[in-house]
């Protein structure tokens, strides 16, 4: 293994030379300059995928550096509160009979992917272990007893515990303080022949240098904020207004870096898109506020026809339906309106944490909301078919009065009549949330070329590879952050093995 020579970026050490970035490319040949450091495993990005990679590589005995362009670790990951896992101790303690085998048997039904795929099997079988590992470092989870959309037939959401436990990012990042270089941005990979041999980085002061590494893990997050990549992957989205609920850093820069080294992409059209929000009343387009309480509303299409059990709007599959059957509208009566709230995305409210949640009334004070004394009038105010809406509301209320949803089976705890005027309607927007496609990898997390050959020295983790690096993930699952951690552990261990071998 290579010794670690230097563990800090010196802003005055502005190495120049072999970098191809001077000519606008995103790949470099082996520079002649002295590297800032030599290391076994260099990880780009300190979110779930990168932190887990760095932890696993160091645990396997490798020297590690993790470069992160922000001032702290985390990326999108601190926002994730729901972790998918099957066959866990929390489920057993809660009397939920589940197993990896059961989850695999139904994998295709809730992801559209392939439960026979070796990488899916390895992830599902390892999912409970990811949570156990995070707990061993100080994190904590509680099982959510409700069955969430796009998670299969059992309760598989494990929510972050808000008791004495630490957030997973903090728990892992605190073990990697010595290895972490913050405000350090990877700009291009360094190639030695066809093999990856390091990374050029730039620090906050603009000083550049390169780090010589036996293996590099790309864990830069997804691409949902990059219009060019999104529209090429999913042209149908270009016809929609742009709404985004993913972390600001999801720019897909890791795809460009790895692509310049010959990496292939996979599953790119499987974007996690959600139809559960409205325009952020304070920030405006393209930022989104999620409708809390949408489960209890009536949701209709432009013909005024009810779409599904409204709980399904927590799933990416409803986002995909929106592309061909939307737009959709959330309908509330005056009673439900007083119970609804609109929740901004955490990354937009770091300076204003108290302002993240608006009551529906507070939202209405900022943004005009369509309303009517009856369904026909509301339909007209919303610009949708009022007669269709009236028929749907009538049927909804008739069923809700009996407690039995004869159309879609929504349970009674979220199925009460909507009878008190005035009625209000919110046009639901389609928010891009995460990427279930990205760099193609093999089962060890090694990045592949289009011909299936491995790029020696290059690995990927997290959303940069669409979580599993394989189309077998299908259109994705809710609680996928578990797979970001899992793929990081996988790639870090493999990268350390390659560096030591």
Ligand X SMILES: Cc1cc2nc3c(=O)[nH]c(=O)nc-3n(C[C@H](O)[C@H](O)[C@H](O)COP(=O)(O)OP(=O)(O)OC[C@H]3O[C@@H](n4cnc5c(N)ncnc54)[C@H](O)[C@@H]3O)c2cc1C
- Binding footprint of ligand X on the chain (CB under 6 A): 44-50, 67-70, 74-77, 79-82, 185-186, 219-221, 246-247, 249, 253-254, 345-346, 434, 462-464, 479-481, 484
Which residue number, 388 or 469, has a Cβ lying nearer to ligand X?
469
Give the separation between CA 129 and CA 149, rounded to whole angstroms.
23
Of residues 271 and 369, the one with the C-beta less far from ligand X:
271
For residue 201, the minimal CB distance to ligand X (Å) is 7
Complex with ligand X: residue 53 or 121, whichever CB lies closer? 53
Report the C-alpha gap between 67 and 254 in whole angstroms: 13
- Is 241 exposed, middle or buried, given 0-12, 13-18 or 19+ CB atoms closer than 10 A? exposed
The whole-angstrom separation of Cα 134 and Cα 111 is 25
Among residues 375 and 464, whose Cβ is nearest to ligand X?
464
- Report residue 451 as tokens: 């011909």
CA distances from 305 to 300, 396, 407 (A): 5, 11, 11
Determine the Cα–Cα distance for residues 265 and 289; give it in Å rounded to an integer. Answer: 31
Q: What minimum distance in Å lies between the beta carbon of 379 and ligand X? A: 32
- The least CB distance from residue 182 to ligand X, in Å, is 9
Burial 45-71 (b: 16+ CB within 10 A, else e): bbbbbbbbbbbbbbebebbbbbbbbbe
Closest distance to ligand X from the beta carbon of 345 (Å): 4
Cα-based distances in Å from 252 to 145, 463, 471: 35, 9, 18
Residue whose Cβ sits closest to ligand X = 47
Q: How far apart are CA 73 and CA 180, in angstroms?
A: 9
C-alpha to C-alpha distances, 110 to 63, 90, 105, 308, 434, nearest whole angstrom: 39, 22, 10, 16, 17
Residues 6+ apart with CB under 8 A from 443: 118, 119, 122
Least distance between ligand X and beta carbon 178 (Å): 18
Smallest gap from Cβ 199 to ligand X, in A, equals 8
Rounded Cα–Cα distance for residues 499 and 501 (Å): 6
Q: How far is the C-alpha of 90 from the C-alpha of 314, rounded, in Å?
A: 23
Q: Are strands 357-359 and 184-192 parallel, antiparallel or unpaired?
A: unpaired
Q: Smallest gap, in angstroms, from Cβ of residue 301 to ligand X?
A: 26
**Shortest distance, CB of residue 240 to ligand X, whole angstroms?**
19
> For residues 54 and 186, which CB has a smaller minimum distance to ligand X in the complex?
186
Burial class (CB in 10 A: 0-12, 13-18, 19+), 116: exposed
The residue (of 83 and 363) whose beta carbon lies closer to ligand X is 83
Specify the 3-state DSSP secondary structure of 257.
helix
Q: Which is nearer to ligand X, 46 or 381 (CB)?
A: 46
CB 72 to ligand X: min, Å? 8
Choice between 43 and 428, CB closer to ligand X: 43
State the Rg of the chain over Cα. Answer: 24
- Compare residues 423 and 467 and give the one whose CB is closer to ligand X: 467
Give whichever of 91 and 202 is closer to ligand X, judged by the CB atom. 202
Q: How far is the CB of 418 from ligand X (least distance, A)?
A: 28
């Amino acid at each position: 293994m290579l010794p670690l020579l230097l563990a800090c970026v010196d802003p005055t050490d502005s190495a120049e030379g072999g970098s191809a970035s001077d000519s606008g490319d995103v790949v470099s040949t082996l520079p002649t300059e002295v590297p800032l450091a030599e290391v076994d495993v260099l990880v780009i990005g300190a979110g779930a995928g990168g932190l887990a990679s760095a932890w696993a590589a160091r645990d396997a005995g490798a020297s590690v550096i993790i470069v992160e362009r922000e001032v702290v670790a985390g990326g999108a990951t601190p926002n994730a509160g729901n972790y998918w896992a099957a066959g866990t101790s929390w489920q057993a303690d809660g009397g939920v009979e589940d197993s990896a085998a059961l989850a695999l048997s139904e994998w295709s039904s809730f992801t559209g992917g392939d439960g026979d795929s070796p990488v899916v099997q390895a992830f599902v079988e390892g999912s409970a272990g990811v949570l156990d590992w995070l707990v061993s470092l100080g994190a904590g989870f509680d099982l959510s007893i409700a069955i969430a959309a796009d998670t299969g037939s059992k309760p598989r959401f494990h929510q972050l515990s808000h008791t004495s436990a630490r957030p997973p990012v903090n728990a892992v990042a605190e073990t990697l303080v010595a290895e972490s270089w913050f405000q350090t941005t990877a700009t291009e990979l360094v190639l030695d022949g066809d093999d990856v041999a390091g990374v050029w980085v730039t620090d906050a002061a603009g000083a550049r240098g390169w780090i010589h590494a036996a293996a590099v893990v790309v864990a830069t997050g997804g691409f949902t904020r990059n219009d060019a990549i999104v529209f090429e992957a999913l042209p149908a989205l270009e016809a929609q207004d742009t709404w985004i609920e993913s972390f600001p850093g999801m720019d897909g820069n890791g795809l460009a870096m790895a692509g310049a080294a010959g990496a292939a992409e996979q599953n790119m059209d499987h974007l996690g898109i959600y139809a559960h929000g409205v325009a952020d009343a304070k920030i405006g387009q393209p930022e989104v506020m999620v409708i809390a309480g949408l489960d209890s509303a009536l949701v209709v299409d432009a013909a005024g026809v009810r779409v599904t059990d409204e709980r399904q709007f927590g799933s990416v599959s409803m986002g995909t339906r929106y592309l061909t059957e939307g737009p959709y509208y959330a309908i509330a009566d005056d009673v439900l309106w007083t119970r609804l709230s609109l929740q901004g995305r955490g990354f937009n409210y770091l300076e204003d944490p108290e302002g993240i949640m608006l009551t529906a009334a507070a939202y209405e004070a900022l943004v005009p909301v369509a309303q009517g004394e009856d369904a026909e009038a509301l339909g007209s105010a919303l610009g949708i078919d009022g007669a269709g809406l009236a028929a749907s509301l009538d049927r909804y209320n008739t069923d809700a009065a009996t407690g039995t949803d004869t159309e879609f089976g929504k349970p009674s705890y979220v199925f009460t009549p909507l009878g008190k005027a005035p009625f209000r309607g919110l046009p639901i927007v389609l928010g891009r949330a995460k990427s279930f496609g990205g760099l193609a990898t093999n089962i060890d997390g090694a990045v592949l070329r289009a011909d299936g050959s491995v790029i020696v020295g290059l690995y990927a983790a997290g959303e940069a590879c669409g979580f599993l690096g394989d189309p077998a993930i299908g259109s994705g699952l809710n609680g996928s952050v578990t797979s970001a951690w899992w793929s990081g552990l996988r790639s870090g261990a493999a990268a350390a093995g390659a560096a030591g071998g």
